[in-house]
């Protein structure tokens, strides 16, 4: 099969986009080796073969998601609006508080901190490890199954729920439950992330996965909405919409419920945060499918996008 190189226009788009991303990241966030390696990987996939070029263009929504998350370091949300620490905590306790026999009222997070179990600690870690990988694997399954239109709808809705959530982080910076337990009701700028209840999984497995993830998290005041609660839920919605296999529906449904519980059980989120993530998911889905997709220009863009990532031999 003869190699088909990208057009000059495609080449320029790729080179300019990568250069812009790296320039902004290096100048305003700081250089990290993973940025360079990621840029090289994207370029290698884009220029290697037509099939890998289509895949690179197809996963652009996930690439943009990763870049936009990283770029939140350009302007911390606590510099834009005051951080909600006490109000969210008190509202959670008022709505969902659990009163003990001695009259002490606890938030659900505080209650579960006193009622831990090894089995739940282990399953909590398993569920939380799925929050991003599982939706991406589901999307790739759609893509390689030839369901390119279903894949792109899911990928774009996934990106949209992230952008909505990130925007809300700036509108309403909020502290997670573990922050209150460790630091009280005052927002302290520069506080780094904590594994909280997920540390038990690291301790029992010796893997140190969550310690590695949260040690570098500078986005502490981004608890509301819980995007952990959004990702697999969005994948579950599209599993239903695209009539995916029963296995995918059950897996995504169970993991989604598990993540919602884990978010509260490990003190990473309040029930209110989880509800916010669910609402954000539904809103993003409705905006995309019943708002954007009804705009002629956007619908035409999606059709052209699907056509670009679909080889002639594959049809949805």
Nearest-angstrom CA–CA distance, 121 and 128? 11
Nearest-angstrom CA–CA distance, 176 and 157? 26
Instruction: Please tell me the predicted confidence (pLDDT) of residue 47.
Output: 93
Do residues 257 and 249 make contact, with C-beta atoms less than 8 angstroms apart?
no
Nearest-angstrom CA–CA distance, 182 and 194? 10
Which residues does 237 contact at the CB level (< 8 Å), separation at least 6?
Answer: 281, 285
What are residue 84's DSSP bridge partners?
174
What are residue 174's DSSP bridge partners?
84, 222
Nearest-angstrom CA–CA distance, 85 and 90? 9
Do residues 247 and 141 make contact, with C-beta atoms less than 8 angstroms apart?
no
Q: Of 55, 29, 8, 33, give the one whose Cα is nearest residue 309.
A: 55
Do residues 201 and 122 make contact, with C-beta atoms less than 8 angstroms apart?
yes
Say what the pTM is: 0.93
Instruction: Give CA angle at 115 (121, 110), nearest 5°.
Output: 100
pLDDT per residue, tens digit, the chain (316 aa), is 456 778 889 899 999 999 999 999 999 888 888 899 999 999 999 998 999 999 999 999 999 999 999 999 889 999 999 999 999 999 999 999 999 999 899 999 999 999 999 999 999 999 999 999 999 999 999 999 999 999 999 999 999 999 999 999 999 999 999 999 999 998 887 777 788 899 999 899 988 888 888 766 657 899 999 999 999 999 999 999 999 999 999 999 999 999 999 999 999 999 999 999 999 999 999 999 999 999 999 999 999 999 999 987 654 4
Instruction: Please tell me the predicted confidence (pLDDT) of residue 146.
Output: 93
Nearest-angstrom CA–CA distance, 56 and 37? 15
Instruction: Please tell me the predicted confidence (pLDDT) of residue 117.
Output: 94
Q: Of 77, 80, 76, 71, give the one whose Cα is nearest residue 27.
A: 71
Is the bond preceding 148 in cis, omega lying within 30 degrees of 0?
no
Instruction: Please tell me the predicted confidence (pLDDT) of residue 191.
Output: 78
């Amino acid at each position: 099969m003869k190699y088909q190189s990208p057009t000059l226009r495609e080449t320029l788009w790729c080179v300019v986009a990568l250069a812009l991303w790296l320039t902004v990241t290096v100048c305003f966030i700081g250089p990290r080796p993973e940025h360079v390696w990621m840029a090289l990987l994207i370029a290698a996939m884009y220029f290697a073969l037509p099939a890998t070029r289509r895949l690179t263009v197809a996963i652009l929504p996930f690439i943009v998601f990763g870049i936009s998350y990283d770029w939140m370091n350009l302007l911390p949300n606590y510099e834009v609006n005051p951080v909600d620490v006490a109000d969210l905590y008190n509202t959670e306790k008022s709505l969902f508080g659990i009163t003990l026999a001695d009259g002490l009222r606890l938030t659900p997070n505080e209650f579960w901190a006193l009622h831990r179990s090894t089995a739940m600690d282990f399953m909590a870690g398993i569920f939380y490890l799925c929050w991003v990988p599982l939706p991406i694997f589901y999307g790739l399954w759609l893509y390689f199954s030839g369901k390119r239109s279903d894949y792109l709808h899911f990928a774009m809705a996934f990106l949209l729920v992230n952008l909505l959530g990130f925007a809300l982080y700036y509108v309403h910076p909020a502290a997670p439950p573990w922050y209150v337990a460790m630091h009280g009701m005052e927002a302290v700028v520069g506080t780094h992330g904590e594994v909280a209840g997920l540390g038990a999984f690291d301790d029992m497995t010796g893997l140190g996965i969550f310690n590695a993830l949260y040690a570098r998290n500078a986005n502490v005041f981004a608890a509301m909405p819980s995007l952990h609660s959004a990702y697999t839920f969005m994948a579950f919605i599209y599993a239903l919409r695209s009539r995916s296999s029963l296995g995918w529906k059950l897996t995504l449904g169970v993991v989604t419920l598990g993540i919602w519980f884990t978010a509260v059980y490990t003190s990473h989120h309040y029930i209110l945060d989880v509800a916010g993530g669910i609402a954000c998911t539904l809103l993003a889905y409705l905006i995309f499918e019943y708002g954007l997709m009804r705009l002629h220009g956007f619908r035409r863009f999606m059709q052209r996008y699907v056509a670009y990532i679909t080889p002639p031999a594959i049809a949805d």
